[in-house]
Amino acid sequence: MPTIIFSQSDQSATEIEVSEGTTLMRAAVSNGVAGIVGECGGQAMCATCHVYVDPEFSAELDEIGEDEEEMLDCTTAARTEYSRLGCQVKMSAKLARIRVSVPNEQV
C-alpha cells in the first residue's frame, strides 16, 4: 500500500499508509493530520484541503481539473505551482511515499 508523508511547517511529519484510490484529504482527515479540514467532504468546493505537493511528484499527478483550478485560486494560503486540493489527488502505486506539506492556514 502506498504511503503519504504529510509535513507541517514546524518540520514534524506524519506517515500514513493507505489503499490505492484513497484521496490525500480522506487520509489526512481520517488520521487526524492537523491543518487539513475537508469541510465540503471532498467535492472541490471549499479549498480547506489545500496542500503543496513535493516537486519530485508533481509530474506523476493527474492534471488539475477545471473545478480544482478555480478553487485553487481561492485558497487561504498562497497558491504555488505545487498547490493541489487534497480531495482531488487519489493515491496510486506511482505515488508511493509521496511527500506533501500542509499550509499554515486553511480557513
Q: Which residues bind ligand FES (CB under 6 A)?
A: 25, 38-40, 42-49, 71, 85-87
42 makes contact with another protein (CB under 8 A): yes
Amino acid at 57: F
85 makes contact with another protein (CB under 8 A): no
Near another protein by CB under 8 A: residue from 15, 56, 67, 105: 67
| Sheet arrangement for strand 50-53 | 13-17, 3-7, 98-101, 50-53, 83-85
Placement of cell 493541489 in the chain: 84
**Partner from ligand FES, another protein, none contacting 9, C-beta within 5 to 8 A by type:** none
9 makes contact with another protein (CB under 8 A): no
Q: How many CB atoms lie within 10 A of CB 85?
A: 29
State the Cα–Cα distance between residues 82 and 37, nearest whole angstrom.
19
State the Cα–Cα distance between residues 57 and 96, nearest whole angstrom.
10
State the Cα–Cα distance between residues 67 and 85, nearest whole angstrom.
10
Using the minimum distance from each CB to another protein, give the nearer residue, 47 or 57: 47
| Binding window for another protein (CB under 8 A); candidates: 4-12, 55-63, 67-75, 95-103 | 67-75
**Residues in contact with another protein by the rule CB under 8 A:** 26, 29-32, 38-45, 47, 67, 70-71, 73-74, 78
